[in-house]
Amino acid sequence: MSHEATKAPRAGSGEMFDAIAARYDILNRILSLGMDQGWRRRAVQALALRRSARALDLATGTADLAMTIARWYPDATVIGLDPSSGMLAEGAHKLAAAGLEDRVTLRIGDAQALPFEDASVDGVAIAFGIRNVPDRARALREMARVTRPGGRVVILELSEPRAGLMGLLARTYVHEIVPRIGAALSGAKEYRYLQRSIEAFPSPEVFTRMMGEAGLSVVEASPLTFGVAHLFVGTPLEERARREEA
CA 105-110-116 angle, 5° bins = 60
Cα separation, 244 vs 246, whole angstroms: 5
Task: Supply the pLDDT for residue 1.
Answer: 39
Determine whether the annotation assigns residue 68 to a binding site. no
Give domain status of residue 188, yes or no: no
DSSP annotation string for 52-90: T-EEEEET-TTTHHHHHHHHHSTT-EEEEEES-HHHHHH
CATH number of the domain where residue 74 is located: 3.40.50.150
Determine whether the annotation assigns residue 110 to a binding site. yes
Enclosing domain of residue 33: 10-158+202-240
Give domain status of residue 99, yes or no: yes
Cα dist. 230→41, 126, 163 in Å?
13, 12, 14
Q: What is the pLDDT along the chain (246 residues), one digit of tens a residue?
A: 344 444 444 444 446 556 555 556 666 666 666 788 899 999 999 999 999 999 999 999 999 999 999 999 999 999 999 999 998 999 999 999 999 999 999 999 999 999 999 999 999 999 999 998 999 999 999 999 999 999 999 999 988 776 666 667 766 766 666 667 666 665 555 566 666 777 788 999 999 999 999 999 999 999 998 788 899 999 999 753 444 455
pTM, whole model, 2 decimals?
0.84
Give domain status of residue 92, yes or no: yes
Picking from 112, 111, 101, the residue whose alpha carbon sits closest to that of residue 77 is 101
On whether the CB atoms of residues 109 and 115 are closer than 8 A, the answer is yes
Structural domain total, the chain: 1
Give every CB contact of residue 201 below 8 A, 6+ residues apart in sequence: 131, 157, 158, 159, 160, 207
Give domain status of residue 166, yes or no: no
Task: Supply the pLDDT for residue 12.
Answer: 41
Give domain status of residue 216, yes or no: yes
Task: Supply the pLDDT for residue 3.
Answer: 40
| Tally of CB atoms within 10 A around 180 | 12
Determine whether the annotation assigns residue 25 to a binding site. no
On whether the CB atoms of residues 84 and 66 are closer than 8 A, the answer is no
Cα separation, 246 vs 126, whole angstroms: 25
Give domain status of residue 230, yes or no: yes
Give domain status of residue 184, yes or no: no
Determine whether the annotation assigns residue 111 to a binding site. yes
Task: Supply the pLDDT for residue 161.
Answer: 72
Give domain status of residue 178, yes or no: no
Picking from 203, 204, 201, 199, the residue whose alpha carbon sits closest to that of residue 176 is 199
